[in-house]
Amino acid sequence: MKRVHPPFTQLIKQLPATVPFVPPEALERQTGQPIRLRLGANESDFGVSPLAKEAMRRALKEVSWYGDSENDALRTALAHIHGVRKEEIVIGSGIDDLLELAVRTFVEPGVPVVTSLGSYPTFQFHVTGFGGQLHFVPYCEWKNDLEALVEKAREVDARLLYLANPDNPTGTWHSADDVARLIEALPPRCVLILDEAYIEFAPPSAHLPIQGDHPQVIRMRTFSKAYGMAGARIGYAIACEETISAFDKVRLHFGVNRIAQAGALASLQDPDFVRDVVNAVNEGKKEYEAMAEELGWRAIPSATNFVAIDVGDADRARRIVDDLLKMGIFIRMPGVSPLNRSIRVTVGKEEHRKQLAEALKKVADRIR
């Protein structure tokens, strides 16, 4: 008897076979070209805190145990830092995991969701995966258009509005006052997901005071960027207790391993390390701005650990990305017009910035 594959759900049948990001390891396999500079995924080039490294080393002795499914020690520490209750915090395996949790909790097939056109694609990936209906608002001068986002949310009766501040992929940001006005203007049935993955790199004016009990706001933060723990996969969300309780109904309770929990907890005890990373990144951004100007391009002001560089058009941006990859340098470019006229480059250590500058000059000369 000939066997046939059992049927998938109608939703799965309709989904395109895509992933939000192609990892550098896959690019190495596809091209046969080893990557010597990873400057495309906004990973930290500056490592992790010595305290976190030692804590994770010690935690290896307990790797045969599951992690604390309640993440109690980390939630308690974060609650103290942010002035909220631990019942208003949930831990997940990075913001990507938390985005899925939020979408799963609030979005059913056909439910409208609003985001910027060209914003962080993993959020869109989750919305599509749960059958939500995406509505897009164009960027305005490389920045999220806050008024247009709220207007669109009202127009479609959106259940979720996604905003990254500082933004990925542009690096731009809005002030805390601007975001506060957006929250005040939210339609009553709409929840704001405020993705603050890069908040440690933002100026003080962008730091919105945290209100853990707001029923329409979910704040998401990560240990992947300034803390240098991208490979450990750990982040957290702050929301009202009712939302956190709803997350607990469906979250993967043992999804965060003991090593990641230990590293994240220890890293909170080393604020000087994070400050030094931010200072080093700020110096690197100045170099990128000067490099872009020298090559006749424009660096978009950034409050993240990367810089988007406007090179004029999408074809040029694609060629730069491809030519650098042939030289073993991994960077990325946004996938949607007009943002795709830029390249996006992580700020690395001084020696890596020098190598990038030399390679980028060669590519620019060839393109000309």
Provide CB contacts within 8 A for 330, sequence distance 6+.
24, 27, 35, 37, 38, 39, 40, 41, 324
Q: Do residues 110 and 205 both lie within one domain?
A: yes
Read off the pLDDT of residues 72-130 as tens digits, 9 standing for 90 and up. 999 999 999 999 999 999 999 999 999 999 999 999 999 999 999 999 999 999 999 99
> For residue 143, how many other CB atoms are within 10 A of its CB?
17
Read off the pLDDT of residues 9-35 as tens digits, 9 standing for 90 and up. 988 888 888 778 889 999 999 999 899
State what percent of residues in the chain have pLDDT above 70.
100
Q: Do residues 262 and 351 both lie within one domain?
A: no
Dihedral sign computed on CA atoms, order 180, 186, 189, 190: negative
pLDDT band for 367, please (50, 70, 90 cuts). Answer: confident
Q: Which residue's entry shows tokens 């919105």?
A: 208
Q: Do residues 71 and 111 both lie within one domain?
A: yes
Q: What is the CATH number of the domain that holds 148?
A: 3.40.640.10
Contact 328, 37 (CB under 8 A): yes
Domain that holds residue 339: 21-47+272-367
Using the 3D structure, point to which of 201, 233, 267 is the last residue of a domain: 267
Read off the pTM: 0.96
Dihedral sign computed on CA atoms, order 57, 58, 59, 61: positive
> For residue 197, how many other CB atoms are within 10 A of its CB?
25
